[in-house]
Amino acid sequence: MKNSWYEKKLEDFAKLGGYKKPEKFDDVLKLDSNENFVISKKFQQDVIAYAKSNSDVREYPLGGVEKLVSKLAKYLKVSENMIGVGNGSDQILDLFLANMASKKTRILTSDPTFGFFEERCKLYAIPCTKIPFSSDMKLDIEKFNSNLKKCHILYLDSPNNPTGFQFSKAQLESLIKKFDGLVIIDEAYGEFGDSSIVSLTKKYDNLIVVKTFSKAFGLAGLRIGYFVANKKIVEVFNQVLQYPYPLNTLAIEAGIASLDKVDQMKEASEIIKSERKKIIENLRKYDAFTVFDSNANFVLFDAKGADKRVFSALVEQGISIRKLGKIGSHSGCLRVTVGTKEMNSKFLLAIRDLLG
């Protein structure tokens, strides 16, 4: 019997591979997924308790998204009609790609960039022009400038995952000014960086800034993403592209509650920045590593071909980090999440024991 059309389609999808999640280990210190363990357990317990007490999950969350958007508008200092939400920032990016790009649309981005975004471009057969990072994991803005006219969409995760690199606000604005296509800036890690360009959405109609509750607010498991853009983009997204009920009731109410605790989020973010500096300084003491600057809640370092050995040795000591392998000219890259002071100390002690 000949393969049917859908079997051929499944075979084509299988060849793509898809987004790779980190390996799952039991009973380990989890520093492999850039989750925020610095924000307190009480923060989590309080927002979940609020969500439970303000929810009736027998009902559809009619009007719930609007309540969350109203709260977000005050936090971001933008109009409510400039905000859209989604089931994690992943879903928002996916909907924009699936509906606003095609095989004839060329995307300009960095190499590497956020793995999920790259895999979705492959899924939809959207061609990409990728600007590689330099050997010290920095991007040359002139290389982006010289490629703008050839492309239709500019996508940058800022800070970048997995490098932690971030263009300045002025540099990003210079790109947006020169580009007449669609600009998507992914600020999933923005609260750990030097600046945000959310305010520029009031100035540029082609700019979409995507953000999330997963990182700075520590609510990765609730899958709450949002974006800021001009009201025309938001209106089309909300009325046509997005699902009728993109967020569940508990997630909506937890998001609302967390926005009443912004000070706790900012305090945790400052701790992460301080601990990030400590990790970078300590790792740079070892000649075995090349360590890169970061504006995110993780640190990327090159173990110079010994990445598998370092990764396995850490797992044996009960610590899981992310094994990335080759990035640009660096052959053995690893990425560690910045955790609590205790977590980071355990990681650094394990590295000291390994390298002597």
Task: Please name each of the domains of the chain with its CATH number.
Answer: 22-39+263-355 (3.90.1150.10), 42-260 (3.40.640.10)
Classify residue 214 by burial, with Cβ atoms within 10 Å: 0-12, 13-18, 19+. Answer: buried
Point out the residues of the chain with pLDDT beneath 50.
Answer: 1
Residue 11 burial (CB < 10 Å; 0-12/13-18/19+)?
exposed
Between the CA atoms of 220, 273, 324 and 125, what dihedral angle is there, to the nearest 10 degrees?
Answer: 60
pLDDT for res 18: 75
CA–CA separation, 223 and 230 (whole Å): 23
Q: How far apart are CA 68 and CA 83, in angstroms?
A: 10
Q: Is 281 helix (H, G, I), strand (E, B) or coil?
A: helix
Please name the residue that has the structure tokens 């300009």: 108
Tokens of 83: 């905000």
pLDDT tens digits for range 13-53 = 888 877 777 777 778 899 999 999 999 999 999 999 999 99
Task: Give the pLDDT of residue 1.
Answer: 45
Assess contact for 335 and 300: CB atoms under 8 A.
Answer: yes
Cα–Cα distance between 281 and 289 in angstroms, integer? 11
Q: Report pTM.
A: 0.94
pLDDT at 202: 97
Residue 304, by phi and psi: left (phi above 0), alpha (psi -120 to 50) or beta?
Answer: left
Largest CA distance in the chain: 64
Residue with tokens 């059309």: 5
153's enclosing H/E stretch is strand 153-157
User: Using CA atoms, how far apart are residues 35 and 322, in angstroms rounded to an integer?
Assistant: 12
CA distances from 271 to 34, 216, 258, 265 (A): 15, 11, 18, 10
| pLDDT computed for residue 184 by the predictor | 98
172: Cα separation from own chain's centroid: 17
pLDDT attached to residue 3? 65
The whole-angstrom separation of Cα 332 and Cα 324 is: 7
Question: Which of 8, 188, 184 has its CA nearest to residue 96?
Answer: 184
Contacts of 261 (CB under 8 A, 6+ apart): 43, 46, 47
